[in-house]
Each structure stands twice: as structure tokens, then as C-alpha cells.
Amino acid sequence: MQNEKELAKEIVEKVGGARNIKTVTHCITRLRFVLKDKSKIDENGLRTLKEVLGIVDRGGQIQIVIGGGVERVFNAVEPLLLTQDKEEEKATDSPEDKSKENSIVQVIMSYVAASITPTITVIVGAGLINAILAVAAQFGLARDSGTFVVWSSFAQLAFTYLPVWIAISAARYLKTDSYLAAFITVSTIVYFSGPETLSMFGVNIPEVNYAGAIVPVLMMAPVLAFIDKFLSNHLHKNLVFMFKPLLSILVMLPLLLFIFGPLGALVGTLIVKLSFALMELGPISMAILAALHPITVIFGMHSLFTPILVNELTTLGYTYVLSRALAANFAMAGAALAVGVKSKKIPNKSLGISTSVTALLAATEPALYGVLLPLKRPLIASCAAAGVTGFFVGLYKVHAYSLGSFNLFTLSFTLGGDSMNNFYIAVGCALLAFVLGFVFTWLMGFKED
């Protein structure tokens, strides 16, 4: 197996070299490249790398599936990237250039994913603190004790100031001033989220709770980037340092308070209503979402749900839609194990067992791309098992208090509230999905090449 530095060098070369890379980010299992010229990709060469589990071209991004070690590979890729001069940067990042390559929907998808994905680590860490507190409370830790209050308040900050973290990553993606974006965002959370009515220029500021509100920030950052570039190009060079930040704030704060804030709050409310509608449909909607989840992962479309999940978490305190992944992930683990046990070929047997363990302990992509997709029938079996389990997930309204990929360790995401019932039901659903994935795959069989 290659070390991370060697693998990073191979990947960078096979996507057209460092000069062909506009941006690179990563999620839990994938490197996500935005390239200048996709025709320079050596896709066959990438697929020959053992550590590369799959390649997805989606939303204007080339997603290279690595698995659980993606962060180390990403850290090895970053030093290899070359810093382009400003003229080249302007030419390659102009709206006209992007519109030629990608539809507006793809551009928006790439932007939202790149803005939210880097913040997941904060959410996961805070969510696990809440899970530990929930368990501690069941074993006698008083919820009004100093220890509980301090740690609970600390964890809540991750969600209250989530718009700030997203503002930073959005600004970096758009190559604008991340500190200015963070300053404008945090000012709205601190000063404009209270119950009192404030006014500006004699006009009452709409009452919007900016704490945890991510949609206004996602709307604000592209406009800030446009203003930043406009002022850089039109202000005299001796005035840029002083007047660009001043004018940016003078323009952006009113826009955020009077337009993006209320509009974002409306969108956020619609998303929450969608979540409640899915909960009302319950078993049927969750069965469909869970059954389709492996397919959406294959095509890189699962990230479309990320804004919904984050908005649920910051608005409701938990996410319902994420539970579809609980049913699907354990179903895929069971299906992979069935392949490992039933297969007559040693490579398939070892791959099935090892990727099943990986799915249970970390990520499902090795099982999905290495076993289920190539053999086809196990993929169908896992989708069926996920759908059946999803019915019960929806029936009992299983929900999570943090974000991430569901496995044995992250079942703790379902810990929270005043009762352990949600966690117990989640464990039962995980076991059901695993068993059904195994049984359905065993009964359907598969053809080994």
C-alpha cells in the first residue's frame, strides 16, 4: 500500500497536475476537486490505484472516493498545489468560465458542499459531547449541575455559531476575505438575534434569529465576493487597504439584515416544514429515502441533503432525515459480509469480510464500491434491506443529534433528550438492517466473475 504522500502525488498528476486544480476539499470519505479542464483527467490511471475506491463527476466536482483515510491524503495533497498569480486566478474563476462548464445548479451544489463540509468536524465533536452528557444524565449526573451546564453550553456554541464557520469556508471557497465574512456574520448573531426591535436609517430591522441560521450566510458570501472583487478593481491602489473593508461592511450589513436574513429565514422555515412533512409521512418516506441512499452515494448526490440536515440540527436540535443513512449503512455492511461468507473465490471472500468490518467501524464506501456495486445483486439486496428498515426508522421517528456517517461508534449520535428510547430503537434498527442485508444477499445470490 502506498503512503499518503505517494498517493497524493499520483492523484494530483492524474487529475491534470497542480496547475489544473482550482480547489480541493474533502468530506468524510472523498477528495473533492474543482478542475480547470476535466479533459486532462486520467480516469483509467486513477482507477488503477488500489486506494481509490471510485470516481464520481457530480455538481461540478470530481469526487475521488478514498475512504476513512481521506483526511491524511488531503493533507498530503495540499502542499503539492501551486499558487496561481492573480491574473490567472481571475481568468479561471470568472462566472463566465464556470457557466461554460457547469449548469447553475451544479455551481450552487459545489458551493454549498464546499461551504458546509469543512464544518462537519465541529458538529461531530459537539454532538458527541451531547451524547456523553445524555448517557451521564441517565447515570445520575444532574442536568443543573455545573459540570453538565458548562459542557452542554460549550457544545451548544458549535451550533449557535455554525454560520460563522460556514462563512469562513464559503469565503475561502470564493477566494474572498474570510475574516470580513466572519466579522459580519458574528455581528448579526451577537447584536441582531435578540427580541428587541432595532432600526437602521429609520426602518425597523426584520426580527430574525441568526444563531444557527446557515441560509442567510450562504446567500451573503457570493455577494461579498463580488463586492470585494469590484472594489479591488475600481478603487485606487492607495485606497484599497482602508476603504475596501469599510465599504464592504457598509454595503453587506444592511443587505444581510434587510434581504438575506429574512429571505434565509423563510427558506429555513420551508426546510423545517419539509422535515415535518417527511416525519408525518413517516414509514413510507423514510423507507424510500433509505432504499435510495446507496444509489445517491454512488452518484455523489447524498450531499444534496446536507443543507437540510444542518438546518434541521440548528433549528430543531436534531435531524430526522439523517436516519435514512442508519438503515442503509448497516444494510450494506450486512450485504458485504454475506458476500464474504458465501463467496467461493478467495479475493471476494476476503474483500467482503474486510469491507463489512470497515462499514461497521468507519465508512461504507469500500463495501459499496469494492463489493456491492461490482456484483450488482448485493447492491439491490442492501437497498431492499435499507428500505424495510427505513420503514421502522420512520415509524418510530428515529433521529440524530449530530451529523456524520452512521456506524457502530456513531450510533451514539442518537443519544440525547431526556430518554434513552431513541438510542435503543436506533440500535434495534441497525441490527435489523444488518441482518436483513445479510439474509437478502444470501437468498438473492450473486455471480462471481
List, by residue number, the catalytic residues: 27
352-383 burial by CB neighbour count: b if 16+ within 10 A, else e? bbbbbbbbbebbbbbbbbbbbbbbebbbbbbb
Report whether 382 contacts 297 (CB < 8 A): no
Angle, CA 44 vertex, CA 41 and CA 50 arms, to 5°:
110
158: which 3 cell numbers? Answer: 458549535
The C-alpha R_g of the chain, in whole angstroms, comes to 23
Report whether 356 contacts 337 (CB < 8 A): yes
By C-alpha distance, which of 3, 5, 59, 1 is closest to 32? 59
Report whether 330 contacts 427 (CB < 8 A): no
For residues 296 and 289, give the distance between their C-alpha atoms in angstroms, rounded to a whole number: 10
CB hemisphere CA count around 128 (13 angstroms) = 10
Angle, CA 68 vertex, CA 63 and CA 71 arms, to 5°:
70
Total Cβ atoms within 10 A of residue 75: 13
Report whether 385 contacts 433 (CB < 8 A): yes
Torsion angle, alpha carbons of 214, 294, 4, 128, to 10: 50
Q: Measure CA of the first residue to CA of the last residue in the chain; give whole Å.
A: 25
Answer positive or negative: Cα dihedral of 327, 330, 333, 338: negative
For residues 192 and 206, give the distance between their C-alpha atoms in angstroms, rounded to a whole number: 9
Number of H helices, E strands in the chain: 21, 6
166 burial (CB, 10 Å; 0-12 / 13-18 / 19+) is buried
